[in-house]
Amino acid sequence: MSTKVETKVISREDLKKRVGYKAVDDYVHSGMVVGLGTGSTAYYAIERLGQKLREGELHNVVGIPTSTKTELQSKSLNIPLTTLDTHPVVEVAIDGADEVDEKLNLVKGRGGSLLREKLIETEAKKLVIIVDDSKLVQNLGMTGAVPVEVIPFCWKHTMRRLLQLESLAECNVSATIRSEKDSIYVTDNNNYIVDLFVERPIPDISLAGRQISDVVGVVEHGIFLNMADVCLVSGTEGIRVIEKER
Ligand SMILES: O=C(CO)[C@H](O)[C@H](O)COP(=O)(O)O
């Protein structure tokens, strides 16, 4: 008699759904103002929030969406929405990330919503990051772009200035303007995104963040330092909770 061992394959989509649902189950309570992130993982957190409000498991929760895409999804689920202007205190924000390092510093914005995400998540008393385990990195900026939102006026000049930054000099940095269907990609704020690519680790990520911000024409960048309080990492073995070291 032969024994068949069944191994269940968990798709990346399942990993995202599990972690999105868990974030809402564990961190959102009735009466809270909640920052609603953007992206394919945050999508599931919003789905869960809509479900729990509909089923009466949560009451009096209002969301602050970090993009028009999230706003549309939230509205389709009848999640009550507000803004930072009327609700400046955000109890919890839940969002995905493109990269997470061991100190819970992040790269965000490959989905294009970094400005509103940073604006809202800076105000969150607790920022919960939800990722699958492919997002964990040793050095930020090595798996893809470091996105920088810039004003459209003279964007080529701004891009040249970014390439000249001392803090990126050792990294063999290159840049592209983000495009979509043969046109320049335009953010929710009517800006453009310059994607910076480095071939070697950025020696001082904090300095790089400051120097990028100092370039005239830059609106915001996707390096989120010291913001996340907890990261839920979804893997085939389950969900690992990593708390920020105090
Ligand atoms: O920063 C973001 C959007 O601006 C997203 O949070 C980030 O891109 C992760 O998205 P996903 O969960 O789809 O991988």
pLDDT tens digits for range 177-230: 999 999 999 999 999 999 999 999 999 999 999 999 999 999 999 999 999 999
**Is the Cβ atom of 65 under 6 angstroms away from ligand 1?**
no
pLDDT at 58 over 60: yes
CATH number for 146-218 (one of 3.30.70.260, 2.40.30.10, 3.40.50.150, 3.40.140.10): it is 3.30.70.260
Distance in angstroms (rounded) separating the CA atoms of residues 94 and 81: 15
Distance in angstroms (rounded) separating the CA atoms of residues 141 and 99: 8
Distance in angstroms (rounded) separating the CA atoms of residues 167 and 202: 7
Q: How many CB atoms lie within 10 A of CB 67?
A: 23
Check: CB of residue 84 under 8 Å from CB of residue 117.
Answer: no
Check: CB of residue 222 under 8 Å from CB of residue 240.
Answer: no
Mutation test residue for ligand 1: of 12, 15, 16, 41, the one with most atoms within 8 Å of CB: 41
Q: Which residue owns the Cα nearest ligand 1 atom 3?
A: 111
Q: CATH top-level class for 12-136+226-235?
A: alpha beta
Q: Which residue owns the Cα nearest ligand 1 atom 9?
A: 97
Structure tokens at 125: 């008393």
Q: Which residue owns the Cα nearest ligand 1 atom 6?
A: 96
Check: CB of residue 223 under 8 Å from CB of residue 107.
Answer: yes
How high does pLDDT run on average in the chain? 96
90-111 average pLDDT score: 98
Residues of the chain with CATH 3.40.50.1360: 12-136+226-235
Residues of the chain with CATH 3.30.70.260: 146-218
Distance in angstroms (rounded) separating the CA atoms of residues 210 and 21: 35
- Would you place residue 12 in the very low, low, confident or very high pLDDT band (cuts 50, 70, 90)? very high
